[in-house]
Amino acid sequence: MNRYRTIIDKNITKHIDMIMIISYTVFENGYQLGGYMKKVLSLIIIATMVLVMVGCGATDENMTRNVSSDVSDKKSTTEEKVVNIYTDRHYDTDQALYDTFTLETGIQVNVVKAKSDELLERLKIEGEDTEADLIVTSDVGRLYRAQTEDLLKPFVSDKLQNNVPEHLRSTEDFWTALTVRARVIAYVKDRVDPSTLSTYEALTEPEWSEKVVVRSSTNIYNQSLMASFIELNGAENAKTWAEGLVKNMARVPEGNDRDQMKAIVAGEGDIAIVNTYYIGKLLNSSDEYEVEVGEKIGVFFPNQETNGTHINISGAGLTKYGKNTDSATLLLEYLTSEKAQSDYANANYEYPVNASVQPSELLQSWGTFKAQEIDLSVLGALNADAVKLLNEAGWK
Ligand code: FE
């Protein structure tokens, strides 16, 4: 509220400054009046214009119209100028972008941060009483879960459709990607020659026996990876792959993606399957050891000669019972705009969804790659099958 007030105050000050300049210019150049008369007339004009602005709520309206051209000017008269977000993202840049959005539109953004499963559970419990307008989460599997558990509502926006390519949006308009990440092969540069790497499938060959580390199959990133193989290669082949990978694991899965890279640098295996942004996080960590690990890791995009590297997204959907639908849609248009995308994606070393925006220098240094071409909704739809097959394959 205070910030909102400050914005309005600033805006009024700006308008007064402008009127002062206009009045001064008119009287100095247009009319040859005496000094006293000039002052009296100036004051009357300023007072009148300020009263008209405040009375009509013009400052407020102008704030909304000042939204960058990337954002449409739709606005409901019944909605509050606020968007309430449930998010599992914990990045300063997200907040900086929300702040900019507030400055440009006058729409306040409130954020609740928690783990995605907790947020979905909370939405379910709150039902119609929820304050949340928008849910932001990583992995399309979770967005799909929110959709099938009837927690989202469809939304249509021409701007968003221009900003985000079709394959990165829900086919039924329930969610959109905000950033893209690839699940790649990370290798120790001084021990592995990247020319010996080719596909995810090849990691099941005997030469990689006890050389592969990867996190648990309870993690959704691996479930989505497995779902993509079911879609592309069929359930039987996907299961055979998982069994082969388990056979080549250097250890029972433990830890997160960063821990896998620490493990291979420490000599526990040579190869890790990880999401790209974790390499960026290591390299930019405040912990010297993590930077050292990051510097020893090479990035390999598998399956370039076949069906492409697995990609996933972080994304957002409008909650079914959110009240501030127009403001929430405006925010999504803003977050996918060219202006916001470079900040949004680069901050977490992810790939932008807006094709007009270049990835960060670090990501560009890894080169371009061919991604799997599958409808991302499928990863959610096949999640249960993937979990079942991963269990059957013995992937802990
Ligand atoms: Fe992650």
Q: CATH number of the domain that 198 lies in?
A: 3.40.190.10
Mean pLDDT computed over 58-64: 33
Q: Render 311-334 in DSSP notation, one character per residue.
A: EEEEEEEEETT-S-HHHHHHHHHH
Q: Are residues 204 and 283 in the same domain?
A: yes
Ligand 1 centroid vs 334 CA: distance in angstroms?
Answer: 23
Ligand 1 centroid vs 351 CA: distance in angstroms?
Answer: 14
Q: Is residue 115 part of a domain?
A: yes
Ligand 1 centroid vs 117 CA: distance in angstroms?
Answer: 14
Q: Are residues 258 and 296 in the same domain?
A: yes
The β-bridge partners of 302 are none
Ligand 1 centroid vs 274 CA: distance in angstroms?
Answer: 9
Ligand 1 centroid vs 246 CA: distance in angstroms?
Answer: 22
Ligand 1 centroid vs 379 CA: distance in angstroms?
Answer: 16
Let me know the angle formed at the C-alpha of 223 by 221 and 226, rounded to the nearest 5 degrees.
110
Residue 90: give the domain boundaries: 82-179+313-357
Q: Is residue 226 part of a domain?
A: yes
Q: Tokens representing 54?
A: 């405040």
**pLDDT above 90 (res 364):** yes
Q: How many CA atoms lie within 13 A of 391 on its CB side?
A: 7
Mean pLDDT computed over 90-109: 93
Q: What is the pLDDT of residues 318-348, one digit of tens each?
A: 999 999 999 999 999 999 999 999 887 778 8
Is-contact 104 95, C-beta < 8 A? no
Ligand 1 centroid vs 230 CA: distance in angstroms?
Answer: 22
Q: Is residue 379 part of a domain?
A: yes
Ligand 1 centroid vs 271 CA: distance in angstroms?
Answer: 19
Ligand 1 centroid vs 393 CA: distance in angstroms?
Answer: 24
Q: Tokens representing 230?
A: 């079911």
Q: Are residues 285 and 324 in the same domain?
A: no
Ligand 1 centroid vs 220 CA: distance in angstroms?
Answer: 10
Antiparallel, parallel or unpaired: β 297-300 and 152-153: unpaired
- Report which DSSP code applies to 169: B
Residue 155: which of 384, 331, 360 has the closest Cα? 331
Ligand 1 centroid vs 338 CA: distance in angstroms?
Answer: 23
**pLDDT above 60 (res 134):** yes
Mean pLDDT computed over 306-312: 97
Q: What is the pLDDT of residues 216-251, one digit of tens each?
A: 999 999 999 999 999 999 999 999 999 999 999 999
Residue with tokens 């802990």: 396
Ligand 1 centroid vs 260 CA: distance in angstroms?
Answer: 13
Distance from C-alpha of 18 to C-alpha of 45, rounded to nearest angstrom: 12
Q: Is residue 77 part of a domain?
A: no
Q: Is residue 73 part of a domain?
A: no
Let me know the angle formed at the C-alpha of 71 by 68 and 75, rounded to the nearest 5 degrees.
115
Ligand 1 centroid vs 181 CA: distance in angstroms?
Answer: 9
Q: Are residues 246 and 380 in the same domain?
A: yes
**pLDDT above 90 (res 40):** no
Q: Are residues 118 and 257 in the same domain?
A: no
pTM over 0.85: no
- Of 34, 65, 96, the one marking the end of a domain is 65
Q: What is the pLDDT of residues 62-89, one digit of tens each?
A: 333 333 344 444 444 456 799 999 999 8
Q: Are residues 161 and 95 in the same domain?
A: yes
Q: Are residues 220 and 267 in the same domain?
A: yes
- Long-range contacts for 117-124 (Cβ within 8 Å, ≥24 apart)? 117/142, 119/86, 119/87, 119/88, 120/145, 120/146, 120/149, 120/151, 122/86, 123/86, 123/151, 123/319, 124/149, 124/151
For 73, the 3-state DSSP assignment is coil
Q: Are residues 169 and 284 in the same domain?
A: no
Ligand 1 centroid vs 99 CA: distance in angstroms?
Answer: 24
Ligand 1 centroid vs 138 CA: distance in angstroms?
Answer: 7
Q: Render 85-97 in DSSP notation, one character per residue.
A: EEE----HHHHHH
Q: Are residues 270 and 305 in the same domain?
A: yes
Least confident of 39-53, 301-315, 333-347: 39-53
Q: Are residues 374 and 238 in the same domain?
A: yes
Q: What is the pLDDT of residues 158-182, one digit of tens each?
A: 999 999 999 999 989 999 999 999 9
- Of 31, 65, 99, the one marking the end of a domain is 65
Ligand 1 centroid vs 134 CA: distance in angstroms?
Answer: 20
Q: Which amino acid is at 21?
A: I
pLDDT at 90: 80
Q: Is residue 72 part of a domain?
A: no
Q: Is residue 117 part of a domain?
A: yes
Mean pLDDT computed over 78-101: 89
Q: Is residue 71 part of a domain?
A: no
**pLDDT above 60 (res 384):** yes
Instruction: Give the torsion sign (CA, 357, 362, 364, 370).
Output: negative
**pLDDT above 90 (res 198):** yes
- Of 65, 100, 115, the one marking the end of a domain is 65
Looking at every residue in the chain, the average pLDDT score rounds to 84
Ligand 1 centroid vs 89 CA: distance in angstroms?
Answer: 9
**pLDDT above 70 (res 263):** yes
**pLDDT above 70 (res 150):** yes
Ligand 1 centroid vs 325 CA: distance in angstroms?
Answer: 28
Ligand 1 centroid vs 78 CA: distance in angstroms?
Answer: 37
Please state the φ and ψ torsions of residue 58, each to the nearest 5 degrees.
-65, -35
pLDDT at 78: 59
Name the domain count of the chain. Answer: 3
Q: Are residues 186 and 124 in the same domain?
A: no
Ligand 1 centroid vs 61 CA: distance in angstroms?
Answer: 39
Q: Are residues 135 and 59 in the same domain?
A: no
